[in-house]
């Protein structure tokens, strides 16, 4: 337990960005213009932006110094070697392939490994991962543990993969499975961590069938902190050391440095296999860039290198995980249904439970996200049937759960911003029964949540 209730952010503020205040009438006008899609808002019209934790964190003074050090040589820049050393300090893979963000790494990998008739299992695919798997023609199979399906259930490692389900799949079809993925933390499953024990068990099943194991490692440091806090035998261990053990269990990884790289842009693909690396590098050169910069400027490589050192700092992670829990625990204590326990990077409100009057295909998550913005200028993100409800053939099925994610950018908002968010959510929850659903009037065939336009059914 912490001695004091106040969360002391382990940094001082060095430069500030103004937030423009607005009222409900203005925000409703912005929503109408945006087709009721929060992705279409101008970010300057948002008071507290919890749309994503991706690329939106504040960089440290040392990262800004790294930008100055950035060397823009086309090939073999010192920025590249600093980046490579920082990645290898945590993830000791022989081949590191820099990309402009996580999905570029996914696109390259699944172009090589995916194909019709193949299956890619994951604890839960994130939207871009699923879309890249499906674009290759392969099937994206989600195999989370059963506990992850009950939002209110307390369990220390709800991000775990269902090892028995994986074993059954591989016994039947190992030849069709080019790689098994585990996402740490499990973003679509509520930002829930995966235990080392689960990773070891998944590894053992993969080994029995000769299938490689990859990590979708975007939030590796937050996952490792939860392992340190919650897994028997891991208390007091250095987080960097836990990360190295996670990496040692895998044959490769995809990474978005926009999360636990503490950077605004960047990512990488890392692999052990030489032949796979060569195929991936050939694609990298076609679409991203030369192998020593990928899709990144030298200055970005330096910002990531420094970010990777800062993200495993225990004071930072203590503050990070505690401030996410602060928001989630306050909502939970006030009776708002949220995914329990609170995950690492976000609080997930169970909009299906909060708004039982709205059927899944009238998008309770979107209705709640609309109302949080209209009421208080707080922008969250629907993770439910808008995001996952459309199948590749165009038919619609409800998602497993209807959530609104309030993702917390790293080192960006203070406790008083979060106190404001708590008040806004509680004001909306107090009149939940007045909310009505929406229908989609325009949509894209894949990743429709980014551009869909809606009409209110009120
Ligand atoms: N994998 C996971 C688990 C993610 O959460 C994301 C991005 C990606 C891959 C793709 O990385 O954005 O760099 O291309 N998640 C962001 C989010 C967008 O809001 O959760 P990217």
Q: Whose CA is nearest to atom 16 of ligand 1?
A: 54
Determine the pLDDT at residue 1: 60
Would you place residue 205 in the very low, low, confident or very high pLDDT band (cuts 50, 70, 90)? very high
* 389 CB near ligand 1 (under 6 Å): no
Whether omega for the bond prior to residue 13 falls within 30 degrees of 0, making it cis, is no
- Residues in Cβ contact with 269 at an 8 Å cutoff, skipping those fewer than 6 apart: 96, 97, 99, 105, 108, 109, 252, 253, 254, 255, 280
* 103 CB near ligand 1 (under 6 Å): yes
Q: Average the pLDDT over each of 209-218, 358-367, 383-392, 429-438 and give the range with the smallest value.
A: 383-392
Among 99, 187, 409, name the best residue to mutate to test ligand 1's pocket (greatest count of ligand atoms within 8 A of Cβ).
187
pLDDT tens digits, residue range 282-339?
999 999 999 999 999 999 999 999 999 999 999 999 999 999 999 999 999 999 999 9
Compute the distance from residue 73 Cα to the ligand 1 centre, in Å: 28
Task: Report the alpha-carbon distance of residue 105 to residue 110 in Å, rounded.
Answer: 9
* 216 CB near ligand 1 (under 6 Å): yes
Whether omega for the bond prior to residue 185 falls within 30 degrees of 0, making it cis, is yes
Q: How far is CA 322 from the centre of its chain?
A: 18
Question: Which atom of ligand 1 lies at the shortest distance from residue 185's CA?
Answer: 3
Q: 285, exposed or middle or buried, with CB in 10 Å at 0-12, 13-18, 19+?
A: exposed
Q: What share of the chain is helix, strand, coil (3-state, %, to 5)?
A: 45, 15, 40
% residues pLDDT > 90 (the chain): 94
With a cut of 90, say whether residue 343 has pLDDT above it: yes
Of the two residues 114 and 190, the one the predictor is more confident about is 114
* 409 token code pair: 């950018």
* 256 CB near ligand 1 (under 6 Å): yes
What average pLDDT is seen over the chain?
A: 96
Would you place residue 194 in the very low, low, confident or very high pLDDT band (cuts 50, 70, 90)? very high
* 237 token code pair: 């261990």
Identify the helix (H) or strand (E) that includes residue 267: strand 267-271
How far apart, in Å, are the Cα atoms of 276 and each of 111, 187, 269, 271?
Answer: 11, 27, 11, 8
Q: How far is CA 442 from the centre of its chain?
A: 26
What is the dihedral angle through the alpha carbons of 392, 396, 402, 404, rounded to the nearest 10 degrees? 60
Question: Looking at residue 176, what DSSP letter applies?
Answer: G
Compute the distance from residue 233 Cα to the ligand 1 centre, in Å: 30
Q: Average the pLDDT over each of 32-46, 80-94, 99-113, 384-398 and give the range with the smallest value.
A: 384-398
Give the pTM.
0.95
Question: Which atom of ligand 1 lies at the shortest distance from residue 53's CA?
Answer: 19
The whole-number average pLDDT for the span 396-404 is 93
Q: In angstroms, how far is the first alpha carbon of the chain from the final one? A: 46
Determine the pLDDT at residue 127: 85
Determine the pLDDT at residue 317: 98
Q: Whose CA is nearest to atom 9 of ligand 1?
A: 102
Compute the distance from residue 216 Cα to the ligand 1 centre, in Å: 9
Question: Which atom of ligand 1 lies at the shortest distance from residue 104's CA?
Answer: 14
* 167 token code pair: 């074993």
Among 103, 222, 344, 449, name the best residue to mutate to test ligand 1's pocket (greatest count of ligand atoms within 8 A of Cβ).
103
Compute the distance from residue 25 Cα to the ligand 1 centre, in Å: 33
With a cut of 90, say whether residue 197 has pLDDT above it: yes
Pairing verdict, β 346-350 and 267-271: unpaired
Compute the distance from residue 217 Cα to the ligand 1 centre, in Å: 10
Q: What is the DSSP string of 348-387?
A: EEEHHHH-TTS-GGG-HHHHHHHHHHHHH-EE-EEESHHH
Q: Whose CA is nearest to atom 21 of ligand 1?
A: 102
Name the nearest CA neighbour of 148 among 102, 183, 200, 196. 183
Task: Report the alpha-carbon distance of residue 458 to residue 452 in Å, rounded.
Answer: 18
Q: Whose CA is nearest to atom 2 of ligand 1?
A: 126
Determine the pLDDT at residue 215: 98
Question: Which atom of ligand 1 lies at the shortest distance from residue 381's CA?
Answer: 19
* 218 CB near ligand 1 (under 6 Å): yes
Pairing verdict, β 403-407 and 346-350: antiparallel
Determine the pLDDT at residue 447: 83
* 54 CB near ligand 1 (under 6 Å): yes
* 52 CB near ligand 1 (under 6 Å): yes
């Amino acid at each position: 337990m912490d001695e004091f209730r106040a969360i002391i952010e382990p940094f001082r503020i060095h430069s500030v960005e103004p937030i423009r205040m607005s009222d409900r009438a203005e925000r409703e006008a912005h929503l109408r213009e945006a087709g009721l899609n929060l992705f279409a808002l101008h970010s300057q019209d948002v008071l507290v932006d919890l749309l994503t934790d991706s690329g939106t964190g504040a960089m440290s003074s040392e990262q800004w110094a790294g930008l100055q050090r950035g060397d823009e040589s086309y090939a073999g820049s010192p920025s590249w070697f600093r980046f490579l050393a920082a990645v290898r300090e945590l993830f000791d893979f022989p081949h590191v392939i820099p990309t402009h963000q996580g999905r570029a790494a996914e696109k390259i990998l699944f172009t090589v490994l995916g194909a019709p008739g193949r299956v890619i299992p994951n604890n839960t695919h994130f939207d871009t991962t699923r879309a890249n798997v499906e674009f290759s023609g392969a099937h994206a199979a989600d195999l989370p543990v059963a506990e992850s399906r009950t939002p209110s259930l307390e369990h220390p490692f709800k991000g775990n993969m269902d090892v028995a389900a994986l074993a059954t799949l591989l016994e039947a079809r190992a030849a069709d499975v080019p790689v098994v993925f585990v996402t740490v933390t499990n973003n679509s499953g509520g930002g829930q961590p995966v235990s080392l024990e689960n990773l070891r068990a998944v590894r053992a099943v993969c080994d029995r069938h000769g299938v490689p194991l990859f990590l979708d490692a975007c939030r590796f440091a937050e996952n490792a902190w939860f392992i340190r806090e919650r897994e028997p035998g891991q208390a007091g261990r250095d987080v960097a050391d836990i990360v190295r053990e996670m990496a040692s269990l895998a044959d490769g990884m995809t990474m978005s440095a926009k999360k636990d790289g503490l950077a605004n842009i960047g990512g990488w693909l890392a692999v052990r296999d030489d032949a796979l690396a060569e195929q991936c590098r050939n694609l990298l050169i076609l679409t991203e860039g030369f192998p020593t910069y990928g899709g990144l400027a030298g200055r970005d490589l330096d910002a990531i290198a420094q970010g990777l050192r800062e993200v495993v700092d225990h004071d930072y992670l203590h503050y990070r995980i505690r401030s996410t829990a602060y928001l989630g625990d306050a909502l939970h204590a006030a009776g708002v249904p949220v995914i329990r326990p609170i995950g690492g990077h976000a609080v997930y409100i169970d909009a299906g439970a909060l708004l039982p009057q709205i059927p899944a295909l009238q998008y309770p998550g979107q209705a709640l996200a609309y109302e949080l913005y209209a009421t208080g200028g707080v922008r969250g993100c629907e993770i439910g049937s808008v995001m996952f409800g459309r199948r590749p053939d165009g038919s619609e099925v409800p998602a497993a759960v209807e959530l609104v994610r309030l993702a917390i950018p790293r080192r960006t908002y203070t406790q008083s911003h979060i106190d404001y968010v708590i008040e806004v959510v509680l004001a909306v929850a107090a009149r939940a029964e007045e909310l009505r659903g929406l229908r989609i009037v325009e949509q894209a065939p894949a990743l429709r949540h980014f551009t869909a336009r809606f009409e209110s059914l009120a």
